[in-house]
Amino acid sequence: MSAFSPASEVILRHSDEFTQRRVLFAGDLQDDLPAQLDTVLSRVHTQQYHHWQILSRTLEDNARYGLVATADDVAECDTLIYFWPKNKPEALFQLENLLSLLPVGTDLFVVGENRSGVRSAEQMLEPWAKMNKIDSARRCGLYHGSLDVQPTFDVEQYWDEYPLGPLTIKTLPGVFSRDGLDAGSNLLLSTLKPHMKGKVLDMGCGAGVLSAMLASFSPKVRLFMTDVNAAAIEASKATLAANDLEGEVFASNVYSDVNGRYDMIISNPPFHDGMQTSLDAAQTLIRGAVKHLNMGGELRIVANAFLPYPQILDETFGSHEVLLQNGRFKVYRAVLQRAAKAKR
């Protein structure tokens, strides 16, 4: 989060506009603009744990992480700068939450890349504010308006669920596998044998699909589940509860909050951060696994076949095998042997 994103560069074109404002930043924050922009007050609310980690170093308690913003999170703010995510239901969830807390008259700025669908901002916000496009640059759009009507927000209305075999999967907007089991996770699940035991760490747990299915046919496993997305954390907790399963679910930026060692680490790692392609998380997942696996423990991941993970697996573990593949995905397995060591 060092270089500014295209959306932040558009905001910087209007930096003089914000010097006397008390600004709440929210949405798909991709850099540390909230800590750099000259304002009277800068607050941040984000659902992304890794973004909060960086911003809280400078903004301290003025940077908040969680599924739902509260009145304390937006206190004193007279302006909202919202960074549009690629997921429209996620945008509606976040904006309805924020606007239900901000006072009528609050200035609203919505910015995002055109390919993310930011054009939808005008129509989405129409019941509460009239938005007008005020700038177009860096393949982004910037919209401005004033809050005329506070919406009502009820997080319970955003919960959804779907059946998966004998299980019920609970989901929220912005969560991976929200609408059903994706093909990659399904391929990974097909390689897991029944009656497994030991400690299993599910990295990037999403709605909790992998862990819930694993526990359903291997009830003796001890589940540990982590994600950066606050919505994923809450969805995974709800999925476990709905199926009477036990597990520890917590926020972590890959291994930032992970302690101890495990017998298996499973993951369908992301290769996007917002709209941007990024292999950083997956590479960190692979390279850091040796510090969090028991001897003889294994890392098992599924990934798009074109991604360059075999080399990283071999550099880290000494070798790997492809358990299963189809036209799009490969399931990789790497076992921690004594010769394996972490790479810097």
- pLDDT > 70 in the chain, percent: 95
Q: Assess whether pLDDT exceeds 80 at residue 132.
A: yes
Cα–Cα distance, 152 to 96 (Å, whole number) = 7
pLDDT digits (tens, 9 = 90+) for 8-26: 999 999 999 999 999 999 9
pTM: 0.93
Please, which pLDDT band fits residue 206 given cuts at 50, 70 and 90? very high
In this structure, whether the domain defined by 6-155 belongs to CATH 3.40.50.150 is answered with yes
Please, which pLDDT band fits residue 342 given cuts at 50, 70 and 90? very low
Mean pLDDT, residues 221-246: 97
Residues in CB range of 144: below 8 A, 6 or more apart: 107, 108, 109, 110, 131, 132, 134
| Whole-number pLDDT of residue 344 | 42
Q: Assess whether pLDDT exceeds 50 at residue 1.
A: no
User: Which residue ranges make up each domain of the chain?
Assistant: 6-155, 159-336
Q: Which CATH number fits domain 159-336: 3.90.1150.10, 3.40.718.10, 3.30.1540.10, 3.40.50.150?
A: 3.40.50.150
**Two tokens at 182?**
């994706």
Tell me whether domains 6-155 and 159-336 share a fold.
yes
Cα–Cα distance, 208 to 238 (Å, whole number) = 9
| Whole-number pLDDT of residue 104 | 98
Q: How far apart are the first and last CA of the chain?
A: 20
Cα–Cα distances (Å) from 110 to 4, 131, 142, in that order, read 17, 9, 6
Cα–Cα distances (Å) from 145 to 21, 28, 126, 232, 306, in that order, read 15, 19, 10, 31, 43
Coil, helix or strand at residue 332: strand
Classify residue 114 by its DSSP letter: G
Q: How does DSSP assign 14-77, residue by residue?
A: TGGGGTT-EEEEEES--SSHHHHS--SEEEEEESBHHHHHHHHHHHGGGEEESSS--GGGGTT-
Q: Assess whether pLDDT exceeds 80 at residue 275.
A: no
pLDDT digits (tens, 9 = 90+) for 301-333: 999 888 889 999 999 999 999 999 998 999 999
